Structures are given as structure tokens and as C-alpha cells.
């Protein structure tokens, strides 16, 4: 996810599928992160959403590869 993927003025909440696309991970990864308590979802009408700010917070807290390691 780049800053261009999260331009100001876009939706403040993303459906889970769209959040996964913007973060460039699978929905399964986001569900796993939710179960581990590392990302927060909101439920509305039986569907799950991720706040824009939560996407940024989660992305910024990802572990960074050590110098010389390949990023996965």
C-alpha cells in the first residue's frame, strides 16, 4: 500500500475486500490479523469494514526487513 492508494477524500471505511486490495494482502491475512488483535474491523449490517486510519496504522506497524533481507 502506498500513500497514493489512500488519497485524501476517499471513503473513510473500506469493505474488507477493498481494504485487502489497497493493502495488497489477502482477505485471509486481514482476518488472521484481526484474530491476533493487530487490526480492528467494524461490523455494519453483517459486513465487515476497516477504517481508513486503521489501514494506515496497520501498514505503518508492519515489521520492516533487516538490511540485506528481501522484503516478502
14-58 pLDDT per residue, tens? 999 999 999 999 999 999 999 999 999 999 999 999 999 999 999
How far apart are the C-alpha atoms of 70 and 33, rounded to whole Å?
22
pLDDT of residue 7: 57
Whether 6 shows a pLDDT value over 70: the answer reads no
pLDDT of residue 63: 75
Q: How far is CA 11 from CA 18, 52, 65, 69, in A?
A: 11, 7, 30, 35
pLDDT of residue 46: 93
The residue whose grid cell reads 522484503 is 71
CB 49 within 8 A of CB 16: yes
Delineate the domains of the chain, giving CATH numbers in brackets: 10-60 (1.10.10)
Amino acid at each position: 500500500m502506498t500513500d497514493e492508494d489512500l488519497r485524501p477524500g476517499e471513503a473513510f471505511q473500506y469493505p474488507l475486500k477493498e481494504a485487502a486490495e489497497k493493502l495488497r494482502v489477502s482477505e485471509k491475512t486481514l482476518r488472521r490479523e484481526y484474530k491476533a488483535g493487530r487490526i480492528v474491523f467494524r461490523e455494519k449490517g453483517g459486513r465487515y469494514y476497516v477504517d481508513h486510519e486503521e489501514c494506515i496504522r496497520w501498514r505503518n506497524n508492519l515489521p520492516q526487513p533487516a538490511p540485506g533481507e528481501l522484503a516478502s
